[in-house]
A and B are shown apart, each in its own frame.
Chain A
Amino acid sequence: MGLFNYTPAEKLNGQTAARPGKRFGNSYFRGFSIVSFLLGWQLLVSFRLLELPSPFETAIVFLDLVVHGDPLYNKTLPEIVWSSLRIVVQACLISILIAVPLGVLMGAVEWFRHYVDAMLEMLRPIPPLAWIPLAYVIFANAGRPTEYVQIFVVFVGAFFPILLDTIHGISMVNRIHVEAARTMGASRKQVLTQIMLPGSLPSIFNGIRVGFGVGWMCIVAAEFVGGKLGIGYYIWSSYSVGGRVAEIISGVIAIGLVGTVMNRFILFLEKRLVPWR
């Protein structure tokens, strides 16, 4: 479970049977990976190749930030992370609510796909960060522009992975299932909602997982616009003040941890919600 479990199609069909005893080997290597990373870090510090705090020093600072918080801001690390996470969750949910129906329609209706595709083709390469100034113009009269701009930036980041995987999922729906439903007299709507949608659900989940990941990565950029203290701005602010490398690393670790937990959580949800796999 990690970066590379991109759930390929073979796995969907349950073709990859786990070899007994292999699990132990893998987890052994996982542990070794973390140990060697820390060791490398410690060596870099010991030989003064990089001016970093040691892993141990960082761990102390990290725990202190989690329990007592940063005196500069009077906030604990979980509070700061939560502020960012809220934005990301909201933005990603909006992404799902828009991208999944859009993707289903695009996957199912050909003229609609071409119609929308021409627009999205141009929007897709724009990095989320580039939207900030324009987003400010769009949300200038919307009451809380900063929050909306942040949501918007994350939304843009999460949108395309979800949309593309939804379209992919729809196109991969077994043709036989559609034909079977139609010969049973199912309406177009029934075929769409009861055959196409569940048939593409595994792929959609994959898109959601990637979308959340990208959205979370966008939060640092999104928080550059200022506003409430989130993890992205915390790192930037610590950097501005200077001399706070351990705090910066703690922030980075927090981002990594939350990202991992989020990924696992969505995998867990997928297992519960796609029981037929």
Chain B
Amino acid sequence: MYTGNGIKKVLLVSVLVVIAAMLLSGCSGKKEEKSGQQNVKNDDNLVYLVQTPPPNMLEQLKAKEIDGFIAWEPFGTTAINAGDGKYLFKSPDIWEDHPCCVLAVSQSFKDSKTIEAVTWAHIKAVRFINDPNNKEKVLNYAAEFTGKNPEIVSEALKNITYVEYPAKDEFKEYYNSLEEGKLLKKSVTDIGFADGEKFFDGFLQDSVYKSIADKLDKDPNWKPSSVPGNIKFRIGYLNADLHQLPIYVAEKEGYYRNVGLVAGRTLETKTYQNGVAVMEAFKVKDIDMAYLGGAPATLKRINDDIPIEVVAGANNEGSGLVVRSDLGINTVEDLKGKTIAVPGVGTVQYTLLEKALREKGLRPVIK
């Protein structure tokens, strides 16, 4: 009663605000679950999604904040190796030959000699990786490239299929899923193509690949003429992304050097954190070619009309859904009511998960 009105009011209001905030936030984990269950009552086929960068997924799974995640290698294998989870499915189980990383070129980059040389080095690298005789060497390269220990890398490599060119039909399927999911803000006609078929003819530019592959099939030792020594060619890739191993192999095995691409002189490599950043780099003409995910490539190609073409593939598949092993999740149906982390809306992994869920009549909602 003595304390001044002001002070008393401050205390009172602070206490009220704290209580209100605690209530609103559902401070205890239990409450959260409850409200989750109430939602389930309305529609009990829901699976909750949260968007999270893959490195953070590992921490979240360990802390049991999420019940599972879908990401590319080596994140799945890392979590399993750490004893935090198990594979519920790998990408070929859901969608065989689904596209993943690609090698793309900016449409404003017109130097066909260099494009040929880079594509050649890439194909040589993919063939090197896929040659069973090189298993040991590839493993070492992969461990160096990602900085992960060889055990994890060797497990992870089993889940990745390195390819020379992605399957066009699977790319179209991905495109269709984007359209259904309302992820496309523009249609292909908005960016100057008559229809989807014409768009893919332009976007998936396999003529360079085909001519190189032809020549290599006839003579495995064929190589294109070297690039002139005065060029400055810039290529981007994602840091330590196992899917993009070919760029590391091409450098280490000397394929780039064979065609006159010398790092630091004619060749400049740039690393990026994610495919979106790579696409922005294409937009501002920071790079001429780059390795990146097929998803950001397609999304930003259409939505932001960033003119690029896919000249080669890097890998198909190579993703998987990891779930906590202590929850008794054995089938996709068991994911009902669970929380799964995805790298982002519109990613190939998101599309994969959505496909798997819909097949079982489950509906993903973003938390």
Binding site for B on A (CB under 8 A): 71-75, 86, 89-90, 93, 96-97, 136, 139-147, 193-194, 197-198, 201, 224-229, 233, 237, 239-244, 269, 272-276
A227/B50 in contact, CB under 8 A: yes
Closest to A272 in B: B9
B52/A226 in contact, CB under 8 A: yes
What is the bound-complex CA distance between A228 and B342, given in angstroms? 11
A241/B345 in contact, CB under 8 A: yes
B53 neighbours in A (Cβ, 8 Å):
224-226
Check if B29 is an interface residue, CB within 8 A of chain A: yes
B345/A144 in contact, CB under 8 A: no
Which among B29, B186, B276 is the interface contact of A243 at CB below 8 angstroms? B186
Q: If the complex has contacts A75-B366, A275-B5, A276-B6, are A226 and B56 also in contact, measured as CB distance less than 8 A?
A: yes
Check if B10 is an interface residue, CB within 8 A of chain A: yes
Check if B17 is an interface residue, CB within 8 A of chain A: yes
Q: How far is the CB of A274 from chain B (nearest CB, A)?
A: 6
B279 neighbours in A (Cβ, 8 Å):
242
Closest to A224 in B: B53
Q: If the complex has contacts A144-B29, A241-B346, are A197 and B52 also in contact, measured as CB distance less than 8 A?
A: no
B344/A143 in contact, CB under 8 A: no
A144 neighbours in B (Cβ, 8 Å):
29, 63, 65
A72/B183 in contact, CB under 8 A: yes
19 more A-B contacts (CB under 8 A) besides A198-B7, A242-B304? A72-B182, A90-B25, A93-B18, A96-B14, A97-B18, A140-B62, A141-B63, A143-B64, A145-B59, A201-B6, A227-B50, A227-B52, A233-B51, A240-B276, A243-B299, A243-B304, A272-B9, A273-B13, A276-B6
What is the bound-complex CA distance between A141 and B185, given in angstroms? 41
A197/B56 in contact, CB under 8 A: no
What is the bound-complex CA distance between A275 and B7, given in angstroms? 10
Check if B42 is an interface residue, CB within 8 A of chain A: no
Q: If the complex has contacts A198-B6, A237-B345, A275-B6, are A225 and B63 also in contact, measured as CB distance less than 8 A?
A: no
B7 neighbours in A (Cβ, 8 Å):
193-194, 197-198
A241/B63 in contact, CB under 8 A: no
B24/A86 in contact, CB under 8 A: yes
Check if B261 is an interface residue, CB within 8 A of chain A: no
Could you jot down 22 A-B contacts, CB within 8 Å? A74-B366, A90-B25, A140-B59, A146-B52, A193-B7, A194-B4, A197-B7, A226-B57, A226-B60, A227-B50, A227-B51, A229-B51, A229-B366, A241-B185, A241-B303, A242-B296, A242-B302, A243-B299, A244-B185, A269-B13, A273-B6, A274-B6
Check if B232 is an interface residue, CB within 8 A of chain A: no
Closest to B305 in A: A243
Check if B367 is an interface residue, CB within 8 A of chain A: yes
B52/A225 in contact, CB under 8 A: yes
Check if B327 is an interface residue, CB within 8 A of chain A: no
What is the bound-complex CA distance between A242 and B346, given in angstroms? 10
A146/B60 in contact, CB under 8 A: yes
Closest to A74 in B: B365
B18 neighbours in A (Cβ, 8 Å):
93, 97
A71/B300 in contact, CB under 8 A: no
Q: If the complex has contacts A72-B182, A275-B6, are A226 and B62 also in contact, measured as CB distance less than 8 A?
A: no
B345/A73 in contact, CB under 8 A: yes
A201/B10 in contact, CB under 8 A: yes
B344/A240 in contact, CB under 8 A: yes
A240 neighbours in B (Cβ, 8 Å):
274, 276, 296, 299, 344-346
Closest to B7 in A: A198
Q: How far is the CB of A145 from chain B (nearest CB, A)?
A: 5
B303/A242 in contact, CB under 8 A: yes
**5 nearest CB pairs, A to B:** A243-B303, A226-B52, A243-B185, A242-B303, A242-B300
Q: How far is the CB of A233 from chain B (nearest CB, A)?
A: 6
Check if B21 is an interface residue, CB within 8 A of chain A: yes
Check if B3 is an interface residue, CB within 8 A of chain A: yes
Which of B3, B7, B53 lies at the interface centre, i.e. has the most chain A CB atoms within 10 A of its CB? B7
Check if B47 is an interface residue, CB within 8 A of chain A: no
Contact with A along B331-367 (1 / 0, CB 8 A): 0000000000100111000000000000000000111
Closest to A244 in B: B185
A225 neighbours in B (Cβ, 8 Å):
52-53, 56
B365 neighbours in A (Cβ, 8 Å):
74
Contact with A along B291-330 (1 / 0, CB 8 A): 0000010011011100000000000000000000000000
A146/B56 in contact, CB under 8 A: yes
Check if B181 is an interface residue, CB within 8 A of chain A: yes
B304 neighbours in A (Cβ, 8 Å):
242-243
B29 neighbours in A (Cβ, 8 Å):
143-144
B6 neighbours in A (Cβ, 8 Å):
198, 201, 273-276
A145/B4 in contact, CB under 8 A: no
Contact with A along B6-43 (1 / 0, CB 8 A): 11011001100110010011000100000000000000
Which among B5, B303, B344, B367 is the interface contact of A237 at CB below 8 angstroms? B344
What is the bound-complex CA distance between A274 and B5, given in angstroms? 9
